Homo-oligomer: A and B are copies of this chain.
């Protein structure tokens, strides 16, 4: 494991890479609760104080993600060695290192670039095309390799997944490891019929919620790193209510210990996003104050200010809370979700990420059986309203391996269409699309976000959703020349129609799912 993470103590590290310091320390007692370690990292342009963590076997680690090139120095402190560093003091307690230029595909962490949109820290726009595989990271090596291969061949640049294992319909198996020391209940008693009787129950489990299993976290980090290599953001679901092990009903102190530990471990990975919860409103005991306390831990302890969101089942968390960087939304309505992006943009003045707009598939649950056409429609509809859509797949199969939960192979049809959408999103002048207020009542149309407004009337993207016009008439002004492309979002074709000005008509095939791209010449 460890050699696969870029731990570059005493060497160079690239900008936005992970620099890691390992120290030997005390392993007696409970190092997780009794010991602290932290590092102070100083470069010409920043000074970062980062908590470290106990990684088991007497080893403590401190990680750091530099945001600038040049020479850095560091110091390590804490009671992890009772004041006696077990290693050579010059090498381990303090040191210096060089930060080199980022490698080609390293653009830094994703930030809210301005109000509604994202960009990497180097300024490159980030147009999010997400998917969800809740516990792909906790499957077998073979399945994980398969998932990474699927992701590599897709347009996905964000994936939501969990740190804790998942107990839910189609997800009754044991995870590859547990986040805590201990033993789980006997899952042999579980059936598709009775599994819900065990949700939120802790009987039969023997976990010590004050002693982490470092190998579990190291494995999650390995997954984060593989995603990083693929240019995919790791939207870490830190807590979720699909639980039979007691992980979602720990005490406040145990929760806080977890958040501190996870933040110390994960923050230095540039592609991490903090998804505080999946369906925060389904936890049996957690209160608003709990979520706000976790937020205060993350805001204080994550030196890099990774993106922070919290996902709902029914009512939204108040996305106006200042710690929330973007709206992470599960649909509120069976029929409309992407269509509400305009409203949510207005209400929250933050990027709107539709992390769950139902999944393509055919399982019995209404959240998991929309068609690929409808999923693709929701993606375009969301994107053309200035939001960011998310995918998932829930196709029944003999092995009960569903992408939505386990990863593996993609069986659907919608994912194939997202590369085209992403390509079109990336053609937006400036950064990001906003809904065009002057469009027809019967069309969705986007223009470049006004914050980044190119010369006006530079670019329009029309989307006709399920409607099937045989033609549409356009008029912007009398003199500007526009190039017009007709996009079949389902068939994945782009037809160049030539140059137009003044009043002009574009013939369309009278099919659903057509888009028209209008670019100033």
Chain A residues in the interface with B (C-beta under 8 A): 333-336, 339, 361-367, 369-371, 374, 396, 440-443, 465-473, 510, 512
Contacts and interface: CB of A to CB of B under 8 A. Distances in A.
A339 B333 CA distance: 11
Contacts of A363: 469-470
B510 A367 contact: no
B336 A469 contact: no
Contacts of A333: 336
B512 A470 contact: no
Contact of A369 (B365, B369, B467): B467
A442 B362 CA distance: 13
A260 B443 CA distance: 42
A510 B362 contact: yes
B369 A469 contact: yes
Given A339-B335, A371-B512, A510-B396, A366 B470 contact: no
A480 to B, nearest CB: 21
Given A335-B335, A470-B396, A366 B440 contact: yes
A466 B364 contact: no
Q: Is the interface of A mostly helix, strand, loop or mixed?
A: loop
Contacts of A335: 335-336, 339
15 contacts: A334-B442, A335-B335, A361-B468, A362-B469, A362-B510, A363-B470, A364-B473, A365-B469, A366-B441, A366-B443, A366-B469, A369-B467, A369-B510, A370-B466, A371-B468
Nearest to A362: B510
A442 B370 contact: no
A371 to B, nearest CB: 6
Contacts of A367: 442
Contacts of A472: 364
A376 to B, nearest CB: 13
Nearest to A193: B503
Contacts of A465: 334
Contacts of A374: 466
A473 B193 CA distance: 11
A471 B364 contact: yes
Contacts of A469: 362-366, 369
A337 to B, nearest CB: 10
A440 B364 CA distance: 11
A227 to B, nearest CB: 30
A468 B369 contact: yes
Nearest to A366: B442
Contacts of A470: 362-364, 369, 396
Contacts of A510: 362, 369, 396
Contacts of A440: 366
Contacts of A334: 339, 441-442, 465
Nearest to A374: B466
A512 B361 CA distance: 11
A468 B470 CA distance: 29
Contacts of A361: 468
A364 B442 CA distance: 9
A84 to B, nearest CB: 60
Contacts of A466: 370-371, 374
From A336, A467, A470, residue with most partner B Cβ within 10 Å: A467
Given A334-B442, A369-B510, A468 B362 contact: yes
